[in-house]
Each structure stands twice: as structure tokens, then as C-alpha cells.
Amino acid sequence: MLKRLAERIIGIFPKKIQDIYYKHEEALWYIFFGALTTGVSFLSAGISKYALELFGANTHIVSTASTVFSWICAVTFAYVTNRIWVFESKARGTKQIMSEAAAFFGGRIFTLIVEVVIMELGNSIIGINYWVTKIIANIVVLILNFVISKLFVFKDKKEAEDEQI
């Protein structure tokens, strides 16, 4: 339904704009849902950060725990949106979907480690503002996540369709 709405909206634009959209459709959807995922990450990080501070947790615990909590929320949201709208996964059946989800979450565990290291170095050790560090970490993680999803998790649409034949 969401893609159909986008296609209707794109349909009112000149052909050159439509061609640009369809040429870069996957990347545009990734950016769109990446922005929403970042919102989920920041919102859940903020909620957990302030809750932990309310209970008197120290900077290291706040930085790491809020990052892990926001990761769980964001990755779950990202898997669903990437599977359905970005990469239009062709995986069917419990075994294929579980394998795909495991690869997705596995890739995200790697980028979680990257994010935790950036947060610890930037915020806890160097003393850069929490939110500035969070923005830097999210830019790095967003790029890494696209590469991992494209190359390792979601097969090329044509390749996946050929396998089903």
C-alpha cells in the first residue's frame, strides 16, 4: 500500500523525475526508512538515557545501556521495513525467514559493536556531547548497515526470483 501510494505520487511528476525515482528506488526507500529507524533509535535512546539517569546510573552505564536498548528497538523496526519495502524480500517459509532474520540481526550485532565503541570513545572517554556522538555513530552505522543488507542479507530481487523457479 505504501509503495502504491508513492507510485501514484511519482506518477504525477514528469517522466525524467519518474525515471530518477525508479532508478534509485531501493536507495530512496532505504534512506526513508533509515531516517525513521534513526528516529526510533533516538527516541528509545533518549527514553532509556533519561530513565537511567533518573535512577543515578553512571555515564558508562547510561551510554552503553541506552545504546543497546535503542539498538534492539531500531533493528526490529529496520528488519520489518527493510524486508517488506526496501529490499522486497522473497524469502518464504519459516526456515528462509529465520535464516534471513538471523543474517540481518547478525550484521546489526557487528554494527552495534561499532556504535558502542564510537559512543564509549566519543561520549564517555573523550567527552563529546552525547547527541553529537550519537549522530556521528548513526551515520557510520547507517552506511555499514546498507552495505551488509545489500551484499549479505537480502538477495538481489532477480536472483531470489530465479531460485524460486
pTM (two decimals): 0.72
pLDDT one-digit tens code per residue, 109-164: 999 899 999 999 999 899 999 999 989 998 898 889 888 998 889 875 545 445 54
**Surface-to-core class of residue 67, CB atoms within 10 Å of its CB (0-12 exposed, 13-18 middle, 19+ buried):** buried
Query: What are the domain boundaries of the chain?
Result: 2-156
CB distance 77 to 42 below 8 Å: no
Mean pLDDT, rounded, of the chain: 88
